Amino acid sequence: MLLLPEKHGSIIEREINSNGDYAVTHYEVLKILDNMTLVKLILETGRTHQIRVHLRFVGHPIIGDTLYGTESKLINRQALHAFRVSFTHPITHKKLNFVSSIPKEIETILSHL
């Protein structure tokens, strides 16, 4: 459990802090590369910047994340993609599932490694 309040002095950035909101991210390492790791993440909670803050906290910021990591020549955005999103609709109570293929720019990173 890692807690996520606003970082002192910033209205955007979040940090791990004992005064923050409860936040849980489960992870599975899919592939270890030279200086990168491909991971599968499952969120138990949905806090602002949760994935980005948790990965930076454990020393593995997301490639291209200029707020919590560094810029990258490999991609001009965060190399973060929601492959599957599932939730229960608040009115119909029907479980909804959405799946999206990996974007070309992330596929390009993976194919060059």
Q: What is the CATH number of the domain that holds 52?
A: 3.30.2350.10
* Number of structural domains in the chain: 1
Note whether residue 60 is domain-resident: yes
Q: Domain containing 78: what range?
A: 25-111
Note whether residue 34 is domain-resident: yes
Note whether residue 75 is domain-resident: yes
Note whether residue 41 is domain-resident: yes
Has residue 113 got a pLDDT over 80? no
Note whether residue 96 is domain-resident: yes
pLDDT given for residue 7 in this prediction: 75
pTM of the entire structure?
0.84
Note whether residue 54 is domain-resident: yes
Would you place residue 5 in the very low, low, confident or very high pLDDT band (cuts 50, 70, 90)?
low
Give the other-Cβ count within 10 Å of 27's Cβ. 15
Has residue 27 got a pLDDT over 90? yes
pLDDT given for residue 55 in this prediction: 96
Would you place residue 41 in the very low, low, confident or very high pLDDT band (cuts 50, 70, 90)?
very high
Has residue 2 got a pLDDT over 80? no
Note whether residue 57 is domain-resident: yes
Note whether residue 10 is domain-resident: no
pLDDT given for residue 110 in this prediction: 84
